Structure 1
Amino acid sequence: MSSRGQQVIPKTADQLRKAELAQIHIAKVQLALDDDAYRAILMQVTGKTSSKELTWQGRKALLDHFKKIGFKVKAKSAGRSAPKVTPDRQALIGKIEAQLAEAGRPWVYADAMAKRICKVDRIDWCKPDQLMKIVAALSYDAKRNGRAEA
C-alpha cells in the first residue's frame, strides 16, 4: 500500500519478492517474534536460515505458517495512518513518509523502528531527535538496498 491508501501492485518478480519479504518482516513484528524464535520458525518451515534465500514457494509457505499462528494482513486503510504532525516535526515526518513510500513499506514499519531504535511504541510519540535517528536508519536501508534516498 502506498502512503495515500492506494494499493501498490508489484509488477515484476523482484518487486513481488520485496513485497513478500516486507510482509514476512511485518509478520515477525506483529507476532512479536524475537530473532531466535523467527529463525527457528524459518528453519523449521523452509529449511533456510535467511528469508533472502527463499524461493517464492518458501516465502508463501512461511507467510501461510505465520497466518496459521495469528498473523493478520491489514489493509492500509483499515490499519495505521500517518502520524499527527506539529510544525517542528513536519519536515521529519514528511521525510519518513517519502522514505517509506520509496521502500513500499507501511507506517507500521516506522512504528516498529520507533520501538526498536527509540524504545517508544509509536512513531507519533518520538521527539525530533528520535525522528532523526529513524530518518538516518531509513536512509541507510535505502542505500543498502540500492534505492534512491528520498
Structure 2
Amino acid sequence: MSQYKTKRGALNKPKLIQLIHIGKSKLCLDDDTYRSLLVAMTGKDSTKAMNIYELNKVLTRLKQLGFVVTHKKKDPKPIDDKASLDIEQQIKLIRHLWLDLHALGAVRNESEQALATYIKNQTQTAIDDLSGEQASNVIERLKNWRKRV
C-alpha cells in the first residue's frame, strides 16, 4: 500500500498522477528528462500506464530529487458569517431584522424600546452591552423567527 495517505486511506491513482505532474513542474524537468526518469523507474513512459506501486516509486524518486509535497491550506470559514461582523454592524442588522419582522406582521411594536426589551429578555443584557457572540445569537433567533413567519 502507499505510504502517502489521504483522510480516507491510500492515495488513488489520479491523485498520484497529479502529484507527479506537480513534481515535474516544481523540479523544472523538461519532457525528455521526465520521460527518461519514468522509463528508468518503471519501464513505462506514461503515468497513465502505471499502477499504484509504480506511481509511488516515481513520486518517491521525485522527492529524492527535491520535490516537497505541500498541502493546500484551506481558509477556515467562520461558523456564521454574521459572527465576524463587528458589534456595531451586528446591532444594525438586529434593528433591520426587527423592522422586517414588523413589516411582516410578526412584531406589533417596532420601537427601539420594544427591541431593547426583546434583547433584554433573550440575553439578560442591554442592547448596548451585547457581546459579539450574544449579538450573533440574537441575529440567528430573529432570522429563524423570520423564516417561520
TM category, shorter: 0.3 to 0.5
TM-score of the superposition, structure 1-length normalised? 0.42
Of the two structures, which has the highest relative contact order with CA contacts closer than 8 Å and spacing of 6 or more? 1
